[in-house]
Structure 1
């Protein structure tokens, strides 16, 4: 049985509450169920890991909660967030631009090694 879930945010619109909120919520649920969970952001979706960006995206227009609130809740549940190295380039960011909940930057070799493990499942958005 798989014990690890990697959620990849690559094509999700970083300014869409639905496109970003649902995968982060799913990651939180999986972590709460005892699975090891990582969210890897790349492409334009990596901007949600930039300080100030996720704080400006509300889950629903009439609600005060933001995508950053979802990230904080997921992180508290044990979800680890990573920025893919190409995401930094795509979004013109540097490591010091990343939110505190981001565990760091990963490269292609590390990513491929992780997803090829037998006990790993991957969801992409």
Structure 2
């Protein structure tokens, strides 16, 4: 099964940022081919240093066992380790004035927005966050 996840949530909606990566990792662990396409505010998660500062909940929250909660970047690394590919919208990167050097090394490619449309038609499932 092929799944593409459109990630428009970003630093402005931190409570929405962890679940897409968790779901992507679960899908990949269950033999799905998964790509995440970052657009709009989701593109900001790809900026170096941004996702490391976002905890999906209140700042300085602790889990029920007293351990520090994972950052969004931790969830991103889990997804990458499971085999999820990260793609960013070229138009979003350009509109934010970013270059490849500004973005995390986990990013696989920067592609035109049309690539999402093509994949959305070809893939089995499309999830939007």
* 2:10 and 2:45 in contact (8 A); partners too: no
Q: Which has the larger radius of gyration?
A: 2
Q: Secondary structure at the match of 1:116?
A: helix
Gaps of 5+ in 2: 62-67
Match of 1:18 among 15, 19, 26: 15
Give the number of equivalent residue pairs: 121
User: Residues of 2 paired with 1:45 and 1:29: CA distance?
Assistant: 20
Match of 2:78 among 48, 66, 73: 73
Q: How high is the TM-score relative to the length of structure 1?
A: 0.88
* Deviations 1:65-95 (CA, angstroms, capped at 9, x unpaired): 2111110010000111111112202322111
CA RMSD in angstroms comes to 1.5
The 5 A counterparts of 1:90-105 are: 90-105=95-110
1:25: Cα distance to partner?
A: 0.9
* 1:31 and 1:78 in contact (8 A); partners too: yes
Match of 1:120 among 114, 117, 124: 124
Q: How high is the TM-score relative to the length of structure 2?
A: 0.85
* 2:48 and 2:103 in contact (8 A); partners too: yes
Gaps of 5+ in 1: none
Match of 2:93 among 88, 96, 105: 88
1:44: Cα distance to partner?
A: 1.7
Which 4+ stretches in 1 moved above 6 angstroms?
A: none
User: Residues of 2 paired with 1:91 and 1:69: CA distance?
Assistant: 24
